[in-house]
Amino acid sequence: MQKMLVTFAAAASLGLVATAAQAATLDDVKAKDYIQCGVTGGVAGFSAPDANNVWAGLEVDFCRAVAAAVFNDAGKVRYTPLTSQERFAALSAGEIDILSRTTTWTMSRDTDLGISFIGTMYYDGQGFMVRKADEIASALDLSGAAICIESGTTTELNAADYFAANSLEFNTVVFVDQDEVVKAYEDGRCDVYTTDASALAAERSKFAVPGDHIILPEIISKEPLGPVVRQGDDQWFKINRWVYFALLEAEELGVTSANVDEMLGSDNPAIKRLLGVEGDFGAPIGLTKDWAYQIIKLVGNYGEAFERNVGPSTDIGLERGLNALWTNGGLQYAPPIR
Amino acid sequence: MTTDTAYIRDEFVPERPAPGRAGGPIMWLRANLFATPSDAILTVLGVIFLLWAVPPIYNFIIGHAVFPGGTVEDCRAEGAGACWAYIYARFNFFIYGFYPIDQYWRPNIVFILGAALILPLLIPTAPFKRINAVLFFLVFPVFGFFLLSGGVFGLSYVPTEQWGGLLVTLIISLVGIICSIPLGILLALGRQSDLPVIKTLCVMFIELWRAMPLITVLFMASIMLPLFMPTGTNVDKLLRALVGVTLFASAYLAEVVRGGLQALPRGQYEAGASLGLSYWKRTYFIILPQAIKHVIPGIVNNFIALFKDTSLVSIVGIFDLLNTVQAASSDIEWASPTQAVTGYVFAAFMFWIFCFAMSRYSLWMERRLDTGHKR
């Protein structure tokens, strides 16, 4: 009843303060019976149409996980492909409920735009690709090597900073367009190709013999990519944040979509709490008791989603690296569910 | 006795080939390609250019291309040409976008019905023009919309975000073309009007829309408009783009039609008035038939431009033909060096088919309507 009153008050004040009136997103989403998810126009492994013309990818799986938690049905998501210019406006205007579109978490975005970042689905960063035959093992060996780079990007600035900081000789071959950069590297006009590591991997899969090229272990910039929601709706923010944490927690506890039903009988109290066997952690955020069970059952844990979309067994073939759980030396870490 | 009988030849002179210096392929070459030294130089340069340009294009598109049946490994091979196998594999995506696969029969019916209605409309001798026009312009859009979006008569609901590919390109251009004709004609008439309010409004409308690039219009419609409206009111994205494209096209069309109106001699207006015809009858029976005929090339020019401009909707995240091609080029299963280029060649070819058909039809129509104006 109180919620209805709040909604009513919010609706009444719409005419006066349209921007301040944020009705509860959870109620809106439940009323329309689907989640509107903003995605890219096609970035392989993150959000792109698959062979059956269905959206798939690591960031798509996040939206599906939220839908699983809210509706017990991962399919209740509709996708809005957005360009990078319109993504934040679409979120602010309420056209989408979650923006999950390879968006780098930066301070100015988090504080200026009236949006809140949920967490980091993928720790990306700038890397270097070289030909295997050149026998380069580290970015520190790149002094004087010809580097193919896209002009006017942060990529160029990051590389210049890195080379200066390590007193290496910086020798670039600059192009305006990403496709030209790749072509030049392929044709042997330069020894090194640099851009974000995930893009390096995707481009490598297009080469005639992908195995002839390696991505060096050094990552020289921070590009944490994560989902975003509108600022000012704490309930929706917390639902999204804990969906993200549940994905990580499930992997840490070894709960997968395959064994989640067996795990219901587990003696481990942490698993019992995660799956809603013990305690009710869904109610405070407006979800059911088995919200995390549904996520794991329908979408899987973070490791499964990673493996399915961008992991070593896919054509993109990204290693876990920074995206491994903290227990495996990575950065993915979830506060305990208790 | 002298005979006055004239000599009458009773058989034809046998045919002989033309003198070698006046006909035959060599003379043709001399007359057309090597008439002067500068012609000769241009010919040689032209041949060199063709020899330089054609083989690589041929090799890319046909010679070294990978046709349906080929695998992605063939496309990745060194020196492989266009990867048609990839186009074949993703063809459905380019035509229907994200439309659910088990519901493809719905867009198919719309395609077939549209073609079945528009063809007789375009052939002047086909009968039942009035019924045909009513069916195509009034019944078909409504029927097509409900069939595509569903939610009624037991059809599953398919939101417009899932419409895509050629389907959306055709929807946007057809709606743009069909709605902009009456709107453009009314605006042109309004601009010629003696009533100051109507005239001012029409001038303002036309000048406002003509002064903005289509990209700006689409951006305004897709990004700014939702910010002005209260949260929760959600006008469909495709509908917003449709309205934007239509208003934009009608402003341009109005100016083309105005050109035709101004080309008519004043006597035509006066003759109509002296017969006692009202403004609308005069306009409908005397002025417009002549004015429109004058500006057919301009109108078709507008339509072709509009058809190609529809690809701009991709920047507001609507999956038209070009955008599906772009999105599919990140398909990792078909990742190959020629993947993106092949997609663009395919999109260009699809656009060319429609634009070329429109331009040929307008040429033909122009000749048919050409009654005594040929100069």
Q: Are residues B42 and B171 in the same domain?
A: no
The mean pLDDT value for A192-205 works out to 85
Q: Are residues B166 and B59 in the same domain?
A: no
Q: Are residues B57 and B91 in the same domain?
A: no
Q: A297: helix, coil or strand?
A: helix
Pairing of strands A35-39, A98-99: parallel
B306 belongs to a structural domain: yes
B274 belongs to a structural domain: yes
Beta-bridge partners for A150 = A175
Residue A271 in tokens: 């698993």
Residues in chain B with CB shorter than 8 Å from the CB of A88 are none
Classify the phi-psi angles of B13: left when phi > 0, otherwise alpha if psi is within -120 to 50, otherwise beta.
Answer: beta
- Kindly indicate the confidence band of residue A219, based on its pLDDT and cuts at 50, 70 and 90: confident
Q: Transcribe B51-103 into DSSP letters.
A: HHHHHHHHIIIIIT-B-BTB-HHHHHSTT---BHHHHHHTHHHHHHTT--GGG
Compute the half-sphere exposure of residue B62: CA atoms within 13 Å on the CB side of its CA.
3
Which regions of chain A carry the CATH code 3.40.190.10?
A: 22-123+224-328, 126-221
Q: Which fold has domain A126-221?
A: D-Maltodextrin-Binding Protein; domain 2 (3.40.190)
B244 belongs to a structural domain: yes
| Residue B239 at interface with chain A, using a CB cutoff of 8 Å | no
Which of B96, B229, B331 comes nearest A48 by C-beta? B331
- Kindly indicate the confidence band of residue B346, based on its pLDDT and cuts at 50, 70 and 90: very high
**A318 CB-near residues (< 8 Å, 6+ apart):** A45, A197, A198, A201, A310, A311, A312
Q: Are residues B163 and B39 in the same domain?
A: no
A86 and B316: CB-CB below 8 Å?
yes
Pairing of strands A122-124, A223-225: antiparallel
Please tell me the distance from the alpha carbon of residue A134 to that of residue A216, in angstroms, as a whole number. Answer: 12
B47 belongs to a structural domain: yes
Residue corresponding to tokens 């130089």:
B41
B164: closest CA of chain A, how far (Å) = 11
A205 and B226: CB-CB below 8 Å?
no
Instruction: State the amino acid at position A190 in one-letter form.
Output: C
- Kindly indicate the confidence band of residue B375, based on its pLDDT and cuts at 50, 70 and 90: very low
- What's the pLDDT score for residue B2? 60
Cβ neighbours of A294 (radius 10 Å) = 25
- What's the pLDDT score for residue B233? 64
- Kindly indicate the confidence band of residue A257, based on its pLDDT and cuts at 50, 70 and 90: very high
Q: How many domains does chain B have?
A: 2
Distance of CA A136 to the CA centre of its chain: 30
Quick: pLDDT tens for B269-295. 889 889 998 889 998 888 888 898 888
Tell me which chain B residue has its CA closest to the CA of residue A309: B332
**A252 CB-near residues (< 8 Å, 6+ apart):** A325, A327, A334
B113 belongs to a structural domain: no
Which residues span the domain enclosing B34?
A: 24-63
The CATH label, of 1.10.1050.10, 1.10.287.1080, 3.30.2130.10, 3.40.190.10, for the domain at A22-123+224-328 is 3.40.190.10
- ipTM of predicted complex: 0.72
Please tell me the distance from the alpha carbon of residue A334 to that of residue A119, in angstroms, as a whole number. Answer: 10
Please tell me the distance from the alpha carbon of residue A130 to that of residue A212, in angstroms, as a whole number. Answer: 9
